[in-house]
Amino acid sequence: MGNGAPKTQAGGRWTGAITRDLPSADLTPVLDWLCADTAADAGVIVHGTDSAPRLLGATRTPVPLEPLLAGLAGGASVQQRHVTTTAELGCPGPPRALRVIPLPGDEPLLLCLLGSSAPGATPPAYPGPAPLGAVRNQAHALLRARDEARLQTGQTARAELLQETLDGLDEPLCTCDRQGRILAANEALKQLLGHGDGNLVGRGLQRFLGGDTTAFMEHLRHPGETTPLASGDAWQLYDDSGQPVEVTVRRTRLRRDHGPDRVLLRWTPVIQEHGRSFLRDARATILERVARREPVTATLGAICELAEGHFPETIAAISIPRPEGDRLVVAPDMPEHFRRALEEHHGFDADESLCATAIHTGERQVCTDTRTEDRWPDYGWFAVAHGIHAIWSEPLRGRDGAMLGALTVFRHRPGAPDAREIEALKHLAELGAVAVTHARFLEQLEAQAFHDGLTGLPNRRLLSDRLAHQIAMAQRTRRPIAVFLLDVDGFKNVNDELGHEEGDAFLCRLGERLAGVLRPGDTLARLGGDEFVVVAPLGRPADAPAVADKLISATETVECPCPVGLSIGISLFPDHGESERPLLHRADRAMYQAKQQGKNRWAIYGTSSDLAASQPTDE
């Protein structure tokens, strides 16, 4: 992933990486129309003018785009200064006449019309309402299409995860809406209905229910939890050949962040055999927890309780290795003295315990009598001392074959598992793997939604949440907060001379160094490009310069062949604002004041003169 720095070109249509996260759209024709209407030489549309402007469209640009975009950062100040030439924005080359027009709407958009470079040339004329409205509408449509595409990507990922979860289980399952239309169905339900090669999505449940379906559909729509669909009453189901199958149907309402409600239906053929009934009920219980997005530790604990209820005189535990090198042990009914001794005296290397061996080898491990066990002698005698005489351990295997952990059953009596017990052990471990895989997928989705893809730091969305939380706390404690907006001086040279790959690596190293000098309660976020934000609670406003000095000093320790620095703008809560928008905006203005006074320094926003009190760092 790039760092957001655009690739400049002298003229022609813009094709740089700065628009790579937007849907394919072409603003060139409407910009050409607008330029013809105003006698302008070129037109540019920019989004996000406060701190990190991005290019939406351009036509016939006669100047390098990166300096133009950099100059347009802080769009409000550009308009207030009544900028009329490109030279005022820091663009190289002959100055061109310029007109900057804010486009009304929910998104911050600027339209820039570039005129002649002849001496004394006036800015292009103000566009007429028709072309101006057309370019505004198409730009907003482009942004809406981008947001819809991102939302659709998340919905597709969740639908694929649900389908994979359903297909990984043997119990017939489907999700449907309150009108009975099937939204997703697994292979087990297709087999039950004789549709092994068909698609059930979009079909109505009435097709498979014989006789009058009014009662069934009423129970499906009923919001209560005491209907026959909630208690598991028997119903008559007909497969594709017209043969009846007696089933119990259980309904579970799925948690929805938005949109209409959906329900999960579990179709269980009525079979009296205890073992198969236990496995179906276990799957139903765990799947319901997964669908409700309950904490993974609670779901794994429920699996342990199911195992203990099925295997008499046992203690069940699930162990999950963690990247930090330790392990998560879930064992709701394990005595505390046994758990503490197990964690303190037995590591997770393959030769130290039966559970670790199951994870490292990917094979079931069975100790029929701990008193005669010679593969793990220390572990065996440790178990005997706590009244454990047999241990069975089944690995949790993901769909890709990776070992996720192990389900271990500690028995108070010696013995080996029979075929029925092995089947139950395997299926409970499979359910554990489903729960762990689902939890990790949700963690990945959350990380992608709230963190910068390049540096791993919080992004703008998470920054907003953190800042709102800090402001709420500060209002109760009456302590100040400092917002630092950081911009890297000389970063363009890093990209131009060393390439964007080295620029990305530099930003990652810089993020690590900046985070290293902050306190645990501070927040470091990346806005995009070479801009970062730090939110830090303070004891008093006078503490802000010391934090800024530490950030600048940290930047000087980052290895980089090109000379770089850090310009920092500081705003204070509540003196300079009581919400995110004014605090970031005023920190942005203070940062540009620091750059104007020589760069590689900090500046505090001044409320009275709209200027900043600034201070260079020691050099």
Q: What per-residue confidence (pLDDT) applies to 447? A: 65
Task: Find, among 198, 415, 171, 397, the residue nearest to 291 by Cα.
Answer: 171
φ/ψ region of 293 (left if φ > 0, alpha if ψ in -120 to 50, else beta) reads left
How far apart are alpha carbons 415 and 572 in whole angstroms? Answer: 69
Asked whether 575 and 613 are in contact (CB, 8 A), the reply is no
Task: Find, among 83, 80, 77, the residue nearest to 98 by Cα.
Answer: 83
CA distances from 461 to 166, 302, 446, 452, 580 (A): 32, 34, 11, 10, 11
How far apart are alpha carbons 604 and 609 in whole angstroms? Answer: 12
Confidence of residue 141 (pLDDT cuts 50, 70, 90): confident
Asked whether 89 and 82 are in contact (CB, 8 A), the reply is no
Q: What per-residue confidence (pLDDT) applies to 381? A: 74
Task: Find, among 294, 284, 291, the residue nearest to 250 by Cα.
Answer: 284
Query: Does the CA dihedral 265-270-274-276 come out positive or negative?
Result: negative
What letter does residue 46 receive in the DSSP assignment?
E
Q: What per-residue confidence (pLDDT) applies to 348? A: 64
Confidence of residue 147 (pLDDT cuts 50, 70, 90): confident
Asked whether 300 and 318 are in contact (CB, 8 A), the reply is yes
Q: Work out whether strand 234-238 and strand 109-114 pair parallel, antiparallel, or are unpaired.
A: unpaired
Q: Could you say which architecture CATH assigns to the domain 17-147? A: 2-Layer Sandwich (3.30)
Confidence of residue 532 (pLDDT cuts 50, 70, 90): very high
- And the tokens for 216? 């069934």
What letter does residue 348 receive in the DSSP assignment?
S
607 vs 122, which has greater pLDDT? Answer: 122
Q: Which region among 7-11, 258-262, 364-368 has the lowest average model confidence (pLDDT)?
A: 7-11
CA distances from 294 to 147, 298, 404, 433, 439 (A): 28, 7, 19, 15, 9
What letter does residue 124 receive in the DSSP assignment?
P
A 10 A CB-CB count for 465 gives 13
Confidence of residue 272 (pLDDT cuts 50, 70, 90): very low
Task: Kindly provide the residue ranges of all beta strands, DSSP E only, lying in 60-202, ordered along the sequence.
Answer: 98-103, 109-114, 173-176, 182-185
Confidence of residue 196 (pLDDT cuts 50, 70, 90): low
What's the mean pLDDT in 169-192? 84
What are the helix (H) ranges across 207-264?
214-221, 228-231
Asked whether 601 and 617 are in contact (CB, 8 A), the reply is yes
Matching fold, domains 170-270 and 291-449: yes
Q: What per-residue confidence (pLDDT) applies to 571? A: 94
Write the DSSP assignment of 357-417 as a string of letters. HHHHH-S-EEES-TTS--SSHHHHHHHHHTT--EEEEEEEE-TTS-EEEEEEEEESS----
Residues whose CB is less than 8 angstroms from the CB of residue 452 and which lie 6 or more positions away in sequence, other chains included: 458, 459, 525, 526
pLDDT score of 350 more than 70: no
Q: Say which CATH superfamily domain 291-449 falls into.
A: GAF domain (3.30.450.40)
Q: Which helix (H) or strand (E) holds 447?
A: helix 419-450
Candidates 3.30.450.20, 3.40.640.10, 3.40.50.300, 3.40.50.720; CATH matching 170-270: 3.30.450.20
Helix (H, G, I), strand (E, B) or coil at 33: helix
CA angle 66, 529, 472 (to 5 degrees): 130
In one letter, which amino acid is 266? Answer: R
CATH of region 460-616: 3.30.70.270
In one letter, which amino acid is 248? Answer: T
Residue 59's Cα: distance from chain center in Å? 35
499 vs 346, which has greater pLDDT? Answer: 499
How far apart are alpha carbons 96 and 82 in whole angstroms? Answer: 14
Asked whether 567 and 486 are in contact (CB, 8 A), the reply is yes
pLDDT score of 35 more than 80: yes
Confidence of residue 276 (pLDDT cuts 50, 70, 90): low
Task: Find, among 510, 502, 535, the residue nearest to 521 by Cα.
Answer: 535
In one letter, which amino acid is 326? Answer: D
48 vs 390, which has greater pLDDT? Answer: 390
> Per residue in 456-502, pLDDT tens?
888 888 888 889 999 999 988 889 999 999 999 988 888 888 888 88
How far apart are alpha carbons 110 and 225 in whole angstroms? Answer: 54
Q: Which helix (H) or strand (E) holds 314?
A: strand 314-321
Q: What per-residue confidence (pLDDT) applies to 573? A: 93
My answer on whether omega of the bond before 574 falls inside 30° of 0, hence cis, is: yes
What letter does residue 6 receive in the DSSP assignment?
P
Confidence of residue 265 (pLDDT cuts 50, 70, 90): confident
Confidence of residue 227 (pLDDT cuts 50, 70, 90): low
Confidence of residue 210 (pLDDT cuts 50, 70, 90): low
Residues whose CB is less than 8 angstroms from the CB of residue 453 and which lie 6 or more positions away in sequence, other chains included: 1
> Per residue in 395-410, pLDDT tens?
998 888 888 889 999 9
What's the mean pLDDT in 411-439? 88
- And the tokens for 115? 């005129």
Helix (H, G, I), strand (E, B) or coil at 480: coil
Domain range annotation of the chain: 17-147, 170-270, 291-449, 460-616
Q: What per-residue confidence (pLDDT) applies to 68? A: 81
- And the tokens for 200? 């059930």
Residues whose CB is less than 8 angstroms from the CB of residue 358 and which lie 6 or more positions away in sequence, other chains included: 364, 365, 393, 394, 395, 406, 408
531-537: strand order across its sheet: 523-528, 531-537, 481-489, 565-573, 601-605, 612-616
